[in-house]
Structures are given as structure tokens and as C-alpha cells.
Structure 1
């Protein structure tokens, strides 16, 4: 199953930017390793904000939830990370469904 993940990362006054960068560096290593493994299809850092967008491919929502809970940024700064999750459907599958529905209506 494909998912669109939209991470919004904040950090409290009690840690420095350098400490946030240390956490984020560990997170980046994890994310790039997951990309090499094929779990992360691709990811992007939004310019000028603490926002990251990822497309991931996991077998089910339980697996995604487990992965999210184990991310370094969630373990070390999770109370200040918001993740919006959207299930995705391959467009080719959607297009085939529409064509099949058109064919069924013409019968």
C-alpha cells in the first residue's frame, strides 16, 4: 500500500538548533536507508520550513504505524512532530476502474 506522509517538525525552547540537527541527521540516515531498501519511494524536504514529504510503500497500516513509532525523530522529538497520512491509489488502477465502469454502463 502506498502512503503520502507529510511531516511537520517543531522543536521546543529547551533544545538548541544544533540538538535538533543531531536528531534530524539520525532521521535522515534512517530515511535514506529505507529509501535504498525500497520502503520509501521518495522524499523531499520543503524549502524554508521544517517539513518533509515522503511516499512510502508498506504492506498495511499496522506496519506503517510501527515504522512511524520507531523513527528517531519520533522517539526523540515525537511530541513535536505532526504527521498527516494519506492512503494513495495508483492512478493506473483508478483509470482501469473508470474504464471498466464505463464499459459496464454501456452493456
Structure 2
């Protein structure tokens, strides 16, 4: 199952920028490891924002929940991270459905 994850990262008034960078470094290591393992299809950092977009391929909604709850950035500063999730469908599959509906 493919999902689009849109991470918005803020940080509290008591957290320094260096602390944020340290957490983000640990997160980057985990994210790049997941990409190498094939769970993360691709990752993008939005320029000029504390925002990361990921496409992940997991076997279930439960797995997505488990992964997102155990990310370093969520463990260390989850109260300052918002994740917007969208389930994705391959366009080729959608086009096939449209063509079947057209034929009925």
C-alpha cells in the first residue's frame, strides 16, 4: 500500500536550533535506512520550510501507524510534528477502473 506522508516540523521555545538539527540528523539516518530497505519509495525536503514529504510502501495501515509512531523525530518531539497522510492508488489502476466503468 502506498501512502503520501507530509511532515510539518515545529519546535518548542525551549528547544535550540542545534537540538532540532540533532534530532533531524537521527531522523534522516532512519529515513535513509528505510529508503535503502525499500519501505520509503522516495523522500523530499521542501525548500525553505521545516517540511518533508515521503512516499512509503507498507503492507497495512497498522504498519504505517507503527512506523510513524516510532520515528526518532516523533519519539523526541512528536508534539511538534504534524503528519498529513494520504492513501495513494497507482494511476494505471485508476485508469483501468475508469475504462471498465465506461464499458458498463
Normalising by the smaller structure, the TM-score range is over 0.9
CA distance in structure 2 between the partners assigned to 1:15 and 1:100 by the alignment: 54
- Partner residue in 1 for 2:88: 88
SS, match of residue 13 in structure 2 = coil
Q: Deviations over 1:47-105 (max 9, x none)?
A: 1110000000001111000000100000000000000000000001000111111122x
Aligned pairs for 1:16-95 within 5 A: 16-95=16-95
SS, match of residue 5 in structure 1 = strand
CA distance in structure 2 between the partners assigned to 1:8 and 1:89 by the alignment: 23
Runs (4+) off by over 2 Å = none
Mind listing any 5+ residue stretches in structure 2 that lack a counterpart? none
CA distance in structure 1 between the partners assigned to 2:47 and 2:21 by the alignment: 16
TM-score w.r.t. length of structure 2 = 0.98
Determine which structure has more spread, i.e. the larger CA radius of gyration. 1
Q: Deviations over 1:1-35 (max 9, x none)?
A: 10000000000111110000000000000000000
CA distance in structure 1 between the partners assigned to 2:60 and 2:15 by the alignment: 35
- Partner residue in 2 for 1:100: 100
Query: What is the root-mean-square deviation in Å for CA atoms of aligned residues?
Result: 0.5
